[in-house]
Structure 1
Amino acid sequence: MTRTRDLDVVVYGATGFVGRLTADYLARHAPQGTRIGLAGRSRDRLERIRESLPGADGWPILVASADDPASLTALAKATHVVITTVGPYAKYGIDLVRACAEEGTDYTDLSGEVLFGRESIDSFHDTAVGSGARIVHSCGFDSIPSDLGVHVLYEQVAADGAGELTDTTLVVSSLRGGVSGGTIDSMRGLVDTVTSDKRARKIAAGPYSLSPDLAAEPHLGRQSDVEMLKGSDIAPGLKGRTAPFVMGSTNTRVVRRSNALRNWAYGRTFRYREVMSVGQSALSPVLALGVAGGLGALMAGLAFPPTRYLLDRVLPKPGEGPSEKTRNAGHFTTDVYTTTTTGARYTSRIRAKGDPGYAATAVMLGESALALALDRGALPDAAGVLTPATAIGDRLAERLRDAGFEITVRKM
């Protein structure tokens, strides 16, 4: 399909907290000549945001709303790529996916919502394949470090002729940052849905819930999202203890979808899990149990009306976020460890400065969109509902390195 549009990238939801950060990142770092627009429900608020951005005086403003499908279609027709930060996506997102899939417009979001991802795949994957659109969910801390971390690992193993990936574990080695109100709101929506819908509960719990072909997935036994491991259980010489990682239930499904979309190139015995380090002290086992229990308690609390009322009063609300000083002080490091079918061991690392859910996410989301808009000839030949690795892959890794991320791979 010939792609002739007035704009290269539009930030939809630019008046929200992460939307503003993403628009600001693009204003400061997009190549000169990139045609960028801002979209949302309120022209007045969008104009105020535009005034606050360096060099954004001429950026067009598009008024669009999740409850006005025609406005979303007009938005999709105006640009090569839409960035959307308007969530929860299960509540507000599917009509924009439809519009982009129908109009051949590339799409990126920050969704960590498995049920929304499944709906997007079932409803619009084939439409997007037909139009040439790349619908790319999870382009922030959920789930680029996970998906790219495995992607670069796989590519190095393949280049070395070292076989296929087998047991693979991501360890969040260090993390400093806050939890976004949008993430909490998505959790509320998930709890509400799985509490009342048995089918949704089954989809959310399935390890291959984002698979393009569930019947073709390998039967590898139980793959739990709640793992408490010794470092030595993951790789020789790795010290300390680990606890479950709160985003693992989404990230693992995204990575497994990448494997399946590539015809299981990572391996038919590829098993993937995610954990976070809780250190090496004598209290580490207690900390691991505390993290696991805390995650369970949060989900249970959101499901029980009296405790949910109390939690809603103290948890971050959508649109809220930390101060600039706090965002700048954040950081993250993720390390992925794998053993191949030849017995070789490899590890990859993704590390970046900035609060993972805000500052670093704005970089990841912005660079994902710029790659889709400006680097199309260098991207994998793919369309449909994709993942960061299968839609953007090496080019995204290159862009993030140029933006200051460390992305490395080595044989152990």
Structure 2
Amino acid sequence: MPYDILALGATGFTGKYISKYLNSHPERSGPTPFTFAVAGRSQKKLEEVKRELKLDQEVGLLVVDIEDYVSVEAAVTQTKVVVNAVGPYWKYADHVVRACANNGVHYVDLAGEPHFIKSIIQKYDYQAHKNNAILIPCCGFDSVPADVVVYLANKTAKSVLGPSAYIEDSISLYDLKGGISGGTLASAISSIEDIPKAVTAEAMKDFSYREPKGAPTKPNKLIYTVPVDGKTRYGGIFPMCPINRLVVHHTWSLFKRFQDRHPEKVYGDKFTYNEITAQSKYYQTVLYLFGISVFIVGILFPPTRWILKRFLPQPGAGPSPDGFFEVTNISHSGSSKIKTVIRAEGEPGYFGTARMISEAGLALALDFGRLPYKQTGGAGVLTPMAALGDVYIERMKKYYELQVESEVVSGDEGRKQR
């Protein structure tokens, strides 16, 4: 094949970040440099992006009509891995996923659209499995950090407390500085306006992606209090928690299906998961809840949504690359508590997301023989941790400079594992 990676949607806001990151990646100048191409609808815009980002001359340009299956398949069959940044995914990604599943090409995307993910599992999971294609949605800030911290908490529990240890109540505290792009807003609004409410509601149910199903999610609280390092942290529900939780549940189900072969992967039957936006003061949480409530109400009702459309960022625009994220996960295992922290510099939603999805694609292209996907039954529609596991985490630590720490902080006090 001519290319290891195909970056689809390279002329968009996130697509440019992905293309720039791939172009400057250290492995591009190694002993066996990977090859990649960028794809979009317009040859002219692709050439402009190539000049703007100063992409190497070796970087290919592929014109793809995302709504024409023949055009999509012609591009997909020229690569090992498709990195798809074209949303809304329910509207534009079906041909891409189908072509990858049919031709044994691996696929990663940034879909935070449960109805889309549920549909591709139903339509393409078997075909992808048969053709040894790994398809991984949600490979950006939604929902890689959530999947990673729970995976590491379980690994630490078993390493320190014994192989029969399981994790139970698990909550992640998000602390970040970032923004939102016009494309993300457009996808969110499109889902609200164009997807039947019943379809969305069905996809948002606990463990909706596949069997088996685990413990139901506990009812949400208005304000959470979580002790961390001797201090009380406060928080309201993290906006992307419902989507991130579905990915964590999907990983739970994939690990549970093969618990007899790989018991070290299993989280446990009492496992539940939640996320909050972390605050140090109670009043900060009240203000946060007020702001997020106003935004949700505004985007749900047509008159205020029309106003928001006019004043919020438009597709192609987005935040600056400055920022950071830190996710602290507290998971319980019997009387013990595991604290897992991951952190990285840079705005997480786009700057960080470009790195997360790129490293997922590179893991599939360059490290395929070391990936743990067979431990969850083989190829198909998987999650970051079920498909890529430790290989992916190590790549992000090395190239994204992701900081990772996981330890038991009560019970068997303070024995760090990573």
1:229 corresponds in structure 2 to: 224
Instruction: For residue 55 of structure 1, report the CA deviation from its aligned partner.
Output: 5.2
- Quick one: distance in 2 between partners of 1:345 and 1:50? 49
Find out whether 1:360 has 2:352 as its counterpart. yes
Change (3 A) 1:255 1:120: same
Alpha-carbon deviations, 1:308-351, whole Å to 9, x = none?
111111212222112xxx31x2101001110113x221111110
Could you say which residue in structure 1 is the equivalent of 2:291? Answer: 294
TM-score, normalized by length of structure 2? 0.89
Distance 1:236 1:84 in 2: 39
Aligned equivalents of 2:93, 2:55: Cα separation in 1: 29
Give unmatched runs, 5+ long, in structure 2: 258-265, 410-418
Q: Counterparts of 1:364 and 1:61 in 2: how far apart (Å)?
A: 23
* Aligned 8 A contact 2:339 2:406 in 1: yes
**Residue 255 in structure 1 maps to residue 256 in structure 2:** no
In the alignment, does 2:187 pair up with 1:186?
A: yes
- C-alpha contact (below 8 Å) 1:223/1:273 kept by paired residues: no
CA distance in 2, matches of 1:391, 1:52: 34
Q: Deviations over 1:251-277 (max 9, x none)?
A: 011011001111161111100000011
| 1:135 match: secondary structure | strand
Q: How far is 1:88 from its partner? A: 1.0
Write out aligned runs for 1:238-317 (5 A).
238-263=231-256, 265-280=266-281, 284=282, 286-317=283-314
Q: Distance in 1 between matches of 2:56 and 2:208?
A: 41
Change (3 A) 1:55 1:287: closer
Q: Deviations over 1:121-165 (max 9, x none)?
A: 111111111111110111111111111111122122222316101
Matching residue's letter, 1:229: Y
Mapping of residues 100-249 of structure 1, within 5 Å: 100-160=100-160, 161=162, 163-172=165-174, 174-193=175-194, 196-204=196-204, 206-210=205-209, 212-213=210-211, 216-220=212-216, 222-224=218-220, 227-232=222-227, 237-249=230-242
1:81 corresponds to: 81
- 2:181–2:318 contact (8 Å) kept in structure 1: yes
Taking structure 1 as reference, are residues 227 and 108 closer, same or farther at Cα in structure 2, changes over 3 Å only? farther
Give 1:201 shift.
Answer: 2.3
1:269 and 1:308 mapped to 2: Cα distance? 40
Distance 1:274 1:257 in 2: 16
The aligned residue for residue 374 of structure 1 is 366
Report the alpha carbon displacement of residue 288 of structure 1 after superposing the two structures with TM.
Answer: 2.3
2:318 aligned with 1:321, yes or no? yes
Identical pairs, percent = 32
SS of residue matched to 2:315:
coil
> Residue 239 of structure 1: SS of its match in structure 2?
strand
Amino acid at match of 1:99: A
Q: CA deviation at 1:26?
A: 0.6
Q: How many Å apart are 1:54 and its aligned residue?
A: 4.3
* 8 Å CA contact retained: 1:16, 1:319: yes
Contact in 1 for aligned 2:298/2:305 (Cα 8 Å): yes
Inter-partner Cα distance in structure 1 for 2:127 and 2:351: 33
For the residue of structure 2 that corresponds to 1:91, the secondary structure is helix
Kindly indicate whether the alpha-carbon contact (under 8 Å) linking 1:231 and 1:237 is maintained by their aligned counterparts in 2: no
Cα distance in 2, alignment partners of residues 139 and 9 from structure 1: 15
Structure 2: distance between partners of 1:337 and 1:92:
37
Letter in 1 for 2:167: L
The amino acid of 2:225's aligned partner reads: K
Change in CA separation of 1:90 and 1:221 when aligned onto 2, cut-off 3 Å: closer
Would the aligned equivalents of 2:11 and 2:40 in 1 still touch at CA under 8 Å?
yes
**1:402 aligned onto 2:398:** yes
Spell out structure 1 runs of 4+ moving beyond 6 A.
none
Aligned to 1:53: 53
- Provide the aligned C-alpha RMSD in A: 1.8
DSSP 3-state at the match of 1:241:
strand
Q: Give the superposition deviation at 1:301.
A: 2.1
What CA deviation, in whole Å up to 9, does each residue of 1:201-228 have, x standing for no partner? Answer: 2332x12222x11xx313436454x652
Deviates more, 1:158-167 or 1:38-47: 158-167
| Aligned mates of 1:244, 1:168 — CA distance in 2 | 14
* C-alpha distance in 2 between matches for 1:183 and 1:171: 22
SS of corresponding position for 2:77:
helix
